[in-house]
Structure 1
Amino acid sequence: MSSAAAVVRVVSRRTVKPAAPRPRESIPLTSWDLSMLSADYIQKGLLFPPPPPCLLVVDHLAAALSTTLNTYYPVAGRFVTHNHPEPEGGCSVSIDCDGQGVQIVHAVADAVTVADLLPPDAHVPPLLHSFFPLGDAVNYDGHHLPLFVVQVTHLVDGVFLAFVYNHALSDGTAFWDFLNAWAEIARASCLAAPTSPPPLFNRWSPSPGDGAPVVLPYADLSELIERLQPPLLCERMLHFSSESLVALKERARQELLAAGDTAGAAALTRFQALSSLLWRCITRARRLPAEQQTMCRAAINNRGRLQPALPREYFGNSIYAISTEKVQASELVERGHGWAAAAVGRAVAAHTDADIRARVAAWEVKPIIYTARYFDPSGVMMGSSPRFDMYGCDFGWGKALAARSGKANKMDGKASLYPGREGGGSIDAEVVLTPHHMAALDDDLELWAAVTPDHTLPLLLNNNKP
């Protein structure tokens, strides 16, 4: 495909507002939200088969989105910074819920097919990034940009929906709840009425003054915002069937039992087995010096770990990145898969209610706005979650063919876990590395022994042919 043929043409843009007016409201951002202000917007997308010719897709989505915003009204707002008077000074940020609106972009990729976006070698084509609007926006830009933008790109034989969403507004749990609520309303004309539980917008923090604005000790918040360009990166999608993950977990379990770690073996999960596999294989692909220290980090949901627990429907950020202990690269490889899986398990188990509250208290003493500078170039970061109901987002013309992402929030050593399309506990891992490291990973025998050929892909492509 020539570069000229790959151009994505924007046909129209429209602002979508809540269908029903409501009183203006201000929702303060918590420490969890504020720490995200310098990070990129969330960029996730779903590739769909072609809708029926009678369906006006953009109008259909816009009408349902307007109705959804009646419930999810903060998504249609904007951020506002409030400067506090002396002697305390500082500033706080809130969501101004005044129905300012979100945006739908309608685009056409005249010569792009579904097969172009799902190549058989599983490398993600850079073309995909051009389907995502607000490509260089950071969450702080929600002061003047919409907090949510969707681009509807018509392909030769399909439709790609690219969702760009402000991460300071909420985490992935709330983001996918919002998308599924929208999808449920969109398909309600031919299926049942929406039944999703309503979101809870009251912000919560474990510090005193529950619901009060978090005041940052800065006169000008914009000076803390960084816009860093990542190096050239390659992306690859790896599929792990449920059977493969069971075998991977069992291999780690047997190694731990052989080493006498019965507690680690009993607590083992598929997530530990998969994340530790990627940690070891990426470390090997980087050819780090033997004494170089490395660790595996993972984004983890705080809701159920707090006591009392935050409700599942809490709409905001409630995540932290947990870390394994640091280990020398040579030791990580030599100790084996079981030890690495148990190390991930210990990090998960240590993330308790007390740990969460201590981290909030430490942040309030010394607030940090996280940027890519905080990423460990020798470590691995696990993001997203196979628990997110990505393939439940049926907007009225069928299940998505694939879930993909844009260029945001990526760096060498980032891995994002998605549910496999066939369900049953299968997982797709999106791995991001520099070209040199990706070439080495392609030759890693331990990795490819666990990866499952995605036999559903050719069938989907064949069924999608006009």
Structure 2
Amino acid sequence: MEKSKVKITNKTHIKPNKEIGRKECQLVTFDLPYLAFYYNQKLMFYKGSDFEGMVAKLKDGLGVVLVDFYQLAGKLGKDEEGVFRVEYDNEMKGVEVVEALAEEIGTEDLLVEEGTATFKDLIPYNGISNLEGAHRPLLGVQLTKLKDGIAIGCALNHAILDGSSTWHFMSSWAEICSGSDSISVPPFLERTNARNTRVKLDLTLPPDPHASSNGESKDPLPSSNGDAKPGPQLREKVFKFSESAIDKIKSRVNQSSGSKPFSTFQSLSAHIWRHVTIARDLKPEDYTVYTVFADCRKRVDPRMPESYFGNLIQAIFTVTGAGLLLANSPEFGAATIRKAIESHDAKAIEERNKEWESAPKIFQFKDAGVNCVAVGSSPRFKVYEVDFGWGKPEGVRSGGNNRFDGMVYLYQGEQKKKSGGRSIDVEITLENFAMERLEKDDEFLLVGV
């Protein structure tokens, strides 16, 4: 998609439509590691002909929903002791909303299976680090008029919320736009109930680059390896697994699993891990890491409500030799993943937090491990139920930020919006040569299923 196809026509800011006053909210141990990530990006696109009416409804609804989700209208700051926090007051600009035209592009064009380069210009804040939330809105929205509908591109500061909170906000915004006077599930904003340790980080908030007007900027963080070598050539692709394909994968993994069957997530994860390892052509003695960003709301003690607003995820790692993974049946990978996930209980979370707090390390988004497969998002998120009053989305995608070799995003499959089925869309980013091999792997694709 060439730049010339997307033309910015307007830029405004939306604030909560009620006076809230000064609010401050300390970021906690679950939030802080993501300061060095980039803004999370989501793109949803819908059919419709009344673009101006849609934009007006979205802006009005945003003003209402931000009363509850006011943190998204604030900015990053530090208190007098150097502890990071979200700050809000009525003088702040609020959420940035950009309007744009791309009338040569239709919703069908955005359903392509190739990756996010196709729609990079439909989502704001490409390559913007979360630290820049000190002078930039914590939520940026771009509303683009398409040939036959609207694209809603959102960039959300990952230091203040995870995937569960993102989709809680999106569904609440849609609820208001669909005619509700209030949202059915208000966000739980007391982060310190999950963790109340004050951690001071030696990170300097970047200055406000007023000279930059195009929304693009350099990452203010130093390189994690210190060497400015060009990275590998990466490519993204969406692989669509139908209900029957998912059932086939589960059946294969569960052939000899005993009394406790592997879940859809465990089965599909093992399938992806195994075939990405084959595609990478690793040596038997090479290590490969599987990483899942797991929701800890039900794992912490005391449990936190589903409506907890913030980051309440931790990366869970497991590692094995490539030869061992491939020499065994698919059950081996699934069992390895299940063991890592099940062992990450309240005690393990507490130990991880204490270890991190004693020697805080700010990770770069790509530090997920050697020969890694890292899974984010979840097919549990009801993304196709985000209806702003003009029907369900035609498609939902992640943007280009926070992608690296081996990053995987899982979403409900597009078919789900029509049939209520269990299909899953798998977004994968890999080095070029590995992606070419994966695309030709009939066993991975379950050709004929």
Deviations, residues 429-466 of structure 1 (Å, cap 9, x unaligned): 111112211111111122111796xxxxxxxxxxxxxx
- Structure 1 CA distance for aligned equivalents of residues 243 and 125 of structure 2: 36
Superposition deviation, residue 69 in structure 1? 0.7
- Structure 2 CA distance for aligned equivalents of residues 205 and 289 of structure 1: 46
**Equivalent residue, structure 2, for 1:147:** 138
- Which of 197, 202, 210 is matched with 1:218 structurally? 202
Please tell me whether residue 332 in structure 1 is matched to residue 325 in structure 2.
yes
Superposition deviation, residue 129 in structure 1? 1.0
**Equivalent residue, structure 1, for 2:174:** 183
SS of 2:8's partner is strand
Cα distance change on mapping 1:230 and 1:76 into 2, 3 Å: farther
Please tell me whether residue 280 in structure 1 is matched to residue 274 in structure 2.
yes
Please tell me whether residue 172 in structure 1 is matched to residue 172 in structure 2.
no
| TM-score, normalisation: structure 1 | 0.86
**Equivalent residue, structure 2, for 1:362:** 355
**Equivalent residue, structure 2, for 1:203:** 191
Say if 1:230 and 1:410, in contact at 8 Å, map to a contact too: no
- Structure 2 CA distance for aligned equivalents of residues 27 and 184 of structure 1: 26
Cα distance change on mapping 1:304 and 1:282 into 2, 3 Å: same
Give aligned-pair identity as a percent: 32
Give the alignment of 1:87-102 within 5 angstroms: 91-99=82-90, 100=92, 101-102=94-95
Cα distance change on mapping 1:308 and 1:137 into 2, 3 Å: same
SS of 1:274's partner is helix
SS of 1:289's partner is coil
- Structure 2 CA distance for aligned equivalents of residues 271 and 245 of structure 1: 10
Superposition deviation, residue 231 in structure 1? 4.2
- Structure 1 CA distance for aligned equivalents of residues 251 and 138 of structure 2: 43
- Which of 70, 83, 87 is matched with 2:67 structurally? 70
**Equivalent residue, structure 1, for 2:227:** none
Equivalent residues, number? 426
- Structure 2 CA distance for aligned equivalents of residues 14 and 60 of structure 1: 14
The code of the aligned residue for 2:287 comes to Q
Deviations, residues 14-61 of structure 1 (Å, cap 9, x unaligned): 0001101112111000011111111011101101112447x5222211
Deviations, residues 184-214 of structure 1 (Å, cap 9, x unaligned): 10111xxx5545211111113665xx3x6x2
- Structure 2 CA distance for aligned equivalents of residues 450 and 411 of structure 1: 27
- Structure 2 CA distance for aligned equivalents of residues 383 and 219 of structure 1: 26
**Equivalent residue, structure 1, for 2:292:** 298
Please tell me whether residue 240 in structure 1 is matched to residue 241 in structure 2.
yes
- Which of 425, 433, 446 is matched with 1:449 structurally? 446
**Equivalent residue, structure 2, for 1:131:** 122
- Structure 1 CA distance for aligned equivalents of residues 263 and 303 of structure 2: 22
Please tell me whether residue 307 in structure 1 is matched to residue 317 in structure 2.
no
Measured on the aligned residues, the alpha-carbon RMSD in Å equals 2.2
SS of 1:80's partner is strand
Unaligned runs of 5+ in 1: 85-90, 453-466
**Equivalent residue, structure 2, for 1:17:** 15
Superposition deviation, residue 376 in structure 1? 2.1
Superposition deviation, residue 338 in structure 1? 1.1
**Equivalent residue, structure 1, for 2:78:** 81
- Structure 1 CA distance for aligned equivalents of residues 280 and 10 of structure 2: 44
Say if 1:30 and 1:205, in contact at 8 Å, map to a contact too: no
Superposition deviation, residue 80 in structure 1? 0.9
**Equivalent residue, structure 2, for 1:425:** 422
**Equivalent residue, structure 2, for 1:59:** 56
Please tell me whether residue 400 in structure 1 is matched to residue 393 in structure 2.
yes
Superposition deviation, residue 359 in structure 1? 0.5
The code of the aligned residue for 2:221 comes to I
Superposition deviation, residue 215 in structure 1? 3.0
- Structure 1 CA distance for aligned equivalents of residues 5 and 29 of structure 2: 40
SS of 2:42's partner is strand
Superposition deviation, residue 155 in structure 1? 1.2
| TM-score, normalisation: structure 2 | 0.90
**Equivalent residue, structure 2, for 1:374:** 367
Superposition deviation, residue 169 in structure 1? 1.0
Superposition deviation, residue 10 in structure 1? 0.4
Superposition deviation, residue 219 in structure 1? 7.1
Cα distance change on mapping 1:250 and 1:72 into 2, 3 Å: same
Say if 2:107 and 2:394, in contact at 8 Å, map to a contact too: no
Say if 1:149 and 1:165, in contact at 8 Å, map to a contact too: yes
Give the alignment of 1:97-112 within 5 angstroms: 97-99=88-90, 100=92, 101-112=94-105
Task: Report which stretch shifted further, 352-361 or 431-440.
Answer: 431-440
Deviations, residues 49-78 of structure 1 (Å, cap 9, x unaligned): 12447x522221111100111111111111
Task: Report which stretch shifted further, 98-107 or 357-366.
Answer: 98-107
